[in-house]
Copies of this chain bind each other. A is one copy, B any other.
């Protein structure tokens, strides 16, 4: 399907150059066509962008939901660390998350509203699942007694810091070390001893 090729190329250029910096001619050239031909598949630049955005959102959301659905949930140490690994893997094997990250934090001004909605949507869902898990783990005395929201926010913070390191991303060793350090301190901070 040609429109998927276009979306792939668009994803790439939007990720590298941002909305304003990515041009339809570059995207078209990557697929081997003229920029005007894009209009046979999309209404315009905004339409193309929003479709890419929704694909990226779905990729990210479904990967994360799937992870939590197949995990057994009796071992927070494995589940949480596995989630961090999942984020790293997702980031490295496709560009969707980098695109998503860039547009979450620095959206094109005229689409800020619509993007913000999607971001909040995904965020609430992931947070809700995590909070629920933490609630169970606390009740089962697998981690330290506290409000469930506390480890949830702290863990989301670890995820964010790893994501930033990935975006920055020119130093594989530094990433490994930062992950190890953040995880070690985080886990010590929420585990019973």
Neighbour of A20 across the interface among B17, B170, B177, CB < 8 A: B17
Which residues in chain A, 13-35, are within 8 Å of chain B measured between CB atoms?
16-21
Report A109 CB to chain B, min CB distance, Å: 6
Known: A109-B16, A150-B181, A181-B157. A104 touches B189 (CB 8 A): no
Interface residue A140 (Cβ < 8 Å from any Cβ of B): no
Known: A18-B20, A161-B158. A153 touches B178 (CB 8 A): yes
Q: How far is the CA of A186 from the CA of B158 in the complex (A)?
A: 10
Kindly supply a per-residue 1/0 record for chain A positions 90-134, scoring 1 wherever the CB is within 8 Å of any chain B CB and 0 otherwise: 000000000000101110110000001001000000000000000
Closest to A101 in B: B105
How many residues in A have their beta carbons less than 8 Å from beta carbons of B? 46
Which residues in chain A, 142-169, are within 8 Å of chain B measured between CB atoms?
144, 146, 149-154, 156-158, 160-165, 167-168
* Interface of A toward B, CB cutoff 8 Å: 16-21, 102, 104-106, 108-109, 116, 119, 144, 146, 149-154, 156-158, 160-165, 167-168, 170, 177-178, 180-182, 184-190
CB pairs A–B below 8 angstroms (30 shown) = A16-B109, A18-B20, A19-B21, A20-B20, A20-B21, A21-B21, A21-B108, A21-B109, A105-B167, A106-B106, A106-B167, A119-B168, A149-B181, A150-B180, A153-B177, A153-B178, A154-B181, A154-B185, A156-B161, A157-B158, A157-B178, A157-B181, A160-B160, A160-B161, A160-B164, A161-B161, A185-B190, A186-B189, A188-B189, A188-B190
